Amino acid sequence: MNSYKDKLRKITPYVPGEQSKDTDIVKINANENPYPPSPRAVEALKNFNTDALRFYPNANATLLKEALAKYYGVGVENVFVGNGSDDVLALAFQSFFCGREAIAYPDITYSFYPVWCELFHIPYKTYPLDEHFRVNVEDYREKNGGVVLPNPNAPTSLGEGEDFIRRLLDYNADSVVIIDEAYVDFGGYSSVALTKEYENLLVCGTFSKSRSLAGMRIGFAIGSAELIGVLEAVKNSYNSYTVDSLSIAMGIASVEDEAYFRTTVDKVIKTRTRVTNELRKRGFEVLDSQTNFIMATHDGYSMKELFEYLKAKKVFIRYFSLPRIEKYIRITIGTDDEMDRFLAEVKSFLEDKQ
């Protein structure tokens, strides 16, 4: 029997972190920033000339690209912007992973990668992280159709340094290497400077985490004019206006407010150190995070139970029921008050279980 249903796309989508309207909830499950966006970005929103919304945005988002080029010390021709870095990454997959060979990434990583591979029919292979959840760079010597790696990695929170990235690039001169730097501002090593040396390197970034603008959907990529040119061509074959006028205005204002950016990032890092120490004092193993979240576990306790216990107490964290990481929980760093509530509930969980 023929049916139109046979012609529909069958796909398993990415599952985003839970959202909730309940204001009483401590929401530390989606790696969002606990602080508001820069007051200058808020000002840009308030002063926005709404009459101008009848015009299409600048298809090139030139002013936002210029602000980012200045910030990162690269040329405007080295910057690409998109509707969140998920949009930029999806375009990059379509632009650079067009060979027959499988692209390579770790077994434990951002769970959107396999979804895009399936959507765009890109073959892929994964290499297991070692027992300490680190990436073994030697795995990536094997021939591949491309490489994608978050640095720092998610959900492990662990980052690699310049030596590692250089080796990865030296082994992969014949592939495009995408480094997803969604969390880099919280203490990771940034490969942006290496884009001047390696034409095949694309570095992706986002305003969603360190710049508190997840709701505006602003992402970007930095790379050689060659790679950026292909990204532009693919974007313009799909949707010329991926970044709206309001995102452009608020994005520029955010980039220009370096002082506020520094202050909020430093606050998150300080709270992360405190929470890490508190959890370790209570017997948790906590990985050394370079991100705005931490991965933790505790011998003798079920992390799934802790996750559910906290949920009942209106503290939302993330638990992945996946091989190798099912013993861990992922906790986004919130404000000090939020983390105090989290720590207090963790304490009562441990006491209840004794």
Q: Which residues bind ligand PLP (CB under 6 A)?
A: 31, 84-86, 110, 150, 154, 180, 182, 206, 208, 214, 219
Q: Are 325 and 285 in contact (CB under 8 A)?
A: no
Token pair 């390197």 in the structure block, residue: 201
CB of 1 to ligand PLP, least distance (A): 41
Question: 296-299 long-range contacts, Cβ below 8 Å, gap at least 24?
Answer: 296/328, 296/329, 296/331, 297/327, 297/328, 297/329, 298/350
- Smaller CB distance to ligand PLP: residue 172 or 332? 332
CB of 84 to ligand PLP, least distance (A): 3
- Smaller CB distance to ligand PLP: residue 207 or 284? 207
- Smaller CB distance to ligand PLP: residue 85 or 247? 85
In angstroms, the Cα distances linking 22 to 64, 132, 216, 307, 314 are: 34, 37, 21, 18, 9
Residues sharing a CB contact under 8 Å with residue 212, sequence separation 6 or more, in sequence order? 32, 33, 35, 36, 37, 38, 264
- Smaller CB distance to ligand PLP: residue 197 or 238? 238
In angstroms, the Cα distances linking 133 to 183, 266, 269 are: 17, 26, 21
- Smaller CB distance to ligand PLP: residue 57 or 345? 57
CB of 187 to ligand PLP, least distance (A): 15
CB of 169 to ligand PLP, least distance (A): 19
- DSSP string covering 5-26: GGGS-------PPP----TT-E
CB of 30 to ligand PLP, least distance (A): 8
CB of 158 to ligand PLP, least distance (A): 13
- Smaller CB distance to ligand PLP: residue 35 or 301? 35
Residues sharing a CB contact under 8 Å with residue 332, sequence separation 6 or more, in sequence order? 27, 28, 29, 30, 31, 32, 292, 293, 317, 318
